[in-house]
Structure 1
Amino acid sequence: MSIEQLAETAQAMVAAGKGIIAIDESTATIAKRFAGVGIENTEENRRAYRELLLTTPRLSDYISGAILYDETIRQSTRDGVPFAKYMADNGIIPGIKVDKGTHPLAGCPGEVVTEGLDGLRDRLKEYYKLGARFAKWRAVINIGEDIPSGTAIEANAHALARYAALCQECGLVPMVEPEVLMDGDHDIQTCYEVTEATLRSLFGALYEQNILLEGTILKASMVVPGKDCEEQASIEEVAESTIMCLKSTVPAILPGVVFLSGGQSDDDATAHLDAMNRIGNLPWPLSFSYGRAMQSAALALWSKDLKGNFAKAQSTVYERAKANGLAALGKWEG
C-alpha cells in the first residue's frame, strides 16, 4: 500500500460522523462477557455473536471500521461469506488486533508492557491477505503510588512505535492505543499529567521510528478521574481537560483521534465525546472506537433468546452506533 493509500484509509476511518466498533475481545475476555449473561462460550456462539454485530443493517451509516480478533477474521457469515469480505462489500474497513497482551514489566513492580513484536511482520502480511487494512496495539499505563515510571511509559511507547513501523511496511494503518487506566482513586489532574507524559513519549517514539503520521490513528483514553476517586468530574470538565491534553501533545497532521470507552457507562462515553465536539475548533476529527459501550445492551438482549432476539439485538447496535455517530459531530441530543 502506498503512502497515499495509507493516508486515504486513515481518513476513511475517521470520516465525519463515523467511528470504529471494537469487537476484538480475546477468547478469554469474551468468555467473561458471555458468562455474565449466561451464554456458553463455544466457537459457534462467538461466530454468531460477531455476525450479529457485523451484519447489523445499515451499520455503515455510522461505523467506518471494525477491529477483529484473530479467530474472527478467519470466520464467515452463516451463508459462508468471510467476515472481512462481507465488511468490505458493505463499506466497513476490516481491522485486526495484533498485540499479545500485557505482561509484568521486569524491574517495575505494578507495571506492564505489551508483548507481540516477535513474528509480527509475518502475521501482518497474513492479515493483509485476509483483508485487514488497519491494525491495533494496546499499551496499558497504570496509575498508582509512584507509578507510572518513566521506564514503563518509554517501554510501551517504543513498542507501539515499532509495531506502527511494521504495520506501515505491510500496508496497514496502525492504530496506536496507549490506555491510561481508570482503575484507582487518583483525581482528574493526575490523569491529565500521566496522559500528557504518555502521549509526548508516544509521539516522540513515532517520530524516531519514521512513522508516517498521515497514515496513523490514535486511540486515546479520555482524561477522567479514577473510578474510586471521591470527586468525580462533570461532562464539561472531562471534555475540556481531554481536549487541552490532546492539543498540547498530538500533532495536527494526524488524521484523527478515536476514543476508547475504558469502562465508562454507555451514556457517559457518548456524552463526553459529544461535549468535546461541541467545543469544536479542533485540528483533527474526534470520534470513537468503543467495545463494551457499543455492545453491552445488544449482548444482554441477545442472551435471552439467541435466535428470536437476533434482529432486536441488531437494532440496539444500530442505535448505539447512531448515538455515537451523532456525538462525533457534536449533535447528540441525549
Structure 2
Amino acid sequence: MGLENFRDELAATACALAAAGKGLLAADESTGTVGKRFAAIGVENSEEHRRAYRSLLATAPGLEEHISGVILYEETLFQDSVDADGQPGPPILALFQERGIVPGIKVDQGVEPLPGGLPGESWCTGLKGLQERAARYYARGARFAKWRAVLKISPEGAPSELCVRENAWGLARYARTVQEEGLVPIVEPEILMDGDHDIETTAAVQEWVLRTVYQALAHNGVFLEGTLLKPSMTLPGMDCSTPPSPDLVAEFTLRTLERTVPVSVPAILFLSGGLSEEEASVYLNGINRAISPAPWHLGFSYGRALQQSCLKHWAGHDLAAGQQALLARARANGQAAQGFYVAGSEPSDGSPLFEANYSY
C-alpha cells in the first residue's frame, strides 16, 4: 500500500506505545536464547515449555497497567496459548490484544561479522525478503517491529566509521521498509556495555551514532512520528572502575538525547543492556526525575530486566509465582517511567545480567 496510506495509523500506534507510565515487554528472544534462559532454571527447551512460558506472560493479571506493547519472536506470533491446566487456548497474540497491549515482532535475522570492519564489529542481517515478511506480520496482527544493530567501544578504535555508517543505513532501510507495510519501526542502535571506557567516551560515541542514524533515516524518507527509538542508556563500560550514580547517568543520557534525537519522535524506550533488574529501574527513574516535562516519553523496552525473576519463580511449573514476579518488575518500571520509583520497593532477583558480546 505504501507509507502514505499508513501515516495516520503509524502515528497512532507509536502514540499508543508511548503511553505515560508504560513501556514494552521484550519477549523476542530466539529459540536458542530462550534455551539458555531455560537451562539456567532446569527447564527443557521444548515448544511445549516455550508456549507455556509465553502464555504466562500474556495472561499475567493487570500487566496492561504498565505494559503498552510486547515484542514477540516469530514462533510466538503464530502460536496458540495454553491455560494453567495445559489445555489449548486462543492465539497468544490475541491474549495481548484483548488487553490493549500492542503486539510487535522482531524482524532482524541477527548480526554477522562486518567485512572490512575492526575485530568484533558486526552488521545486522534481514533486509532480503523483509517487505514480504512485514506484510505477513501485519496481516497476523503485529503493529510494530524491532531491528537491533550492535556497536561496541574498544581500545582498537571501534566503532569504526564503516561500522557506524553500515548499521545506521541498515536501520534506516529496515525502518522505511516496514513502514511501507504498516509497522512502526523501533530503531535500536545498541552500544554494548563491554569494556572499561568512561562515561564521557560512551557519550561521545553515542552522539556520533545517533546523529548518523537520524541522517540515514532522513535520507530514506522515514516518517519520524511513526517511529520509536530504543537506545542504550549512556553508561561507562562494565569494567570501568567507578560505577556511575543515577544522577550522572541521567545527566549524560539526557544531554546525549537532547543533542541528537528530533522531538518528532514520540518515545525513547531504553534497553536494559545487561543491567540488573533493579539497576534498570533505578537508572530509568533517575532519568525521568531529571527532566520534566521531557520532549519525548522516556520509557522502557526491557527483556531480561523484566523477566529474570519471573523465569526463576516460574521454574517451568509455578504460573502464579512467575506472574507475580513479572508484575512486580512491571510496576517498578512503570513507576520509574514517571520518576517516582522508590529503590527496593518491589522484589527483584538482584543478580547481574551482563553477558559479554551479548547476542540473541
Normalised by the length of structure 1, the TM-score is 0.98
Residue aligning to 1:266: 277
- Give 1:326's match in structure 2, choosing from 322, 327, 335: 335
1:311, 1:36 → 2: CA distance? 20
Indicate whether 1:26 and 2:30 are aligned: yes
Cα offset for 1:14? 1.1
Counterpart residue identity of residue 76, structure 1: D
Q: For residues 87-126 of structure 1, what are the structure 2 equivalents within 5 Å?
A: 87-108=96-117, 109-126=119-136
Partner of 2:80, secondary structure, is coil
Once the two structures are overlaid, the 10-residue window that deviates more, 77-86 or 287-296, is: 77-86
2:273, 2:324 → 1: CA distance? 23
2:341, 2:165 → 1: CA distance? 37
2:6/2:180 contact within 8 Å kept: no
2:52, 2:143 → 1: CA distance? 23
1:31, 1:313 → 2: CA distance? 17
Residue aligning to 2:346: none
Cα offset for 1:208? 0.5
Cα offset for 1:86? 1.6
Counterpart residue identity of residue 64, structure 2: S
Indicate whether 1:150 and 2:161 are aligned: yes
Residue aligning to 1:134: 144
1:185, 1:249 → 2: CA distance? 25
Residue aligning to 1:200: 211
Cα offset for 1:110? 1.9
Percent of pairs with identical residues: 50
Counterpart residue identity of residue 48, structure 1: A
Q: For residues 133-282 of structure 1, what are the structure 2 equivalents within 5 Å?
A: 133-145=143-155, 146-281=157-292, 282=294
Partner of 2:89, secondary structure, is coil
1:300, 1:85 → 2: CA distance? 26
Partner of 1:137, secondary structure, is strand
Counterpart residue identity of residue 167, structure 1: V
Counterpart residue identity of residue 322, structure 1: R
Residue aligning to 1:316: 325
Cα offset for 1:38? 1.0
2:27/2:71 contact within 8 Å kept: yes
2:131, 2:36 → 1: CA distance? 30
Cα offset for 1:327? 0.5
Counterpart residue identity of residue 75, structure 2: E
Indicate whether 1:48 and 2:52 are aligned: yes
1:122, 1:63 → 2: CA distance? 28
Cα offset for 1:13? 0.3
Partner of 1:77, secondary structure, is strand
Post-superposition CA distance 1:121-172 (Å, at most 9, x none): 1100110111100000000001102110011000000000000001110000
Residue aligning to 2:355: none
1:246, 1:3 → 2: CA distance? 25
Cα offset for 1:88? 1.0
2:6/2:179 contact within 8 Å kept: no
Counterpart residue identity of residue 109, structure 2: K
Post-superposition CA distance 1:2-46 (Å, at most 9, x none): 211110100110100010000000011111111111111001101
2:103, 2:249 → 1: CA distance? 31
Post-superposition CA distance 1:197-254 (Å, at most 9, x none): 1100000000110000000000010011111111221111011100000000000111
Counterpart residue identity of residue 161, structure 2: G
Cα offset for 1:82? 0.8
Counterpart residue identity of residue 110, structure 1: G
1:194, 1:83 → 2: CA distance? 39
Residue aligning to 2:303: 291
1:247, 1:83 → 2: CA distance? 38
1:332, 1:229 → 2: CA distance? 26
Cα offset for 1:113? 0.3
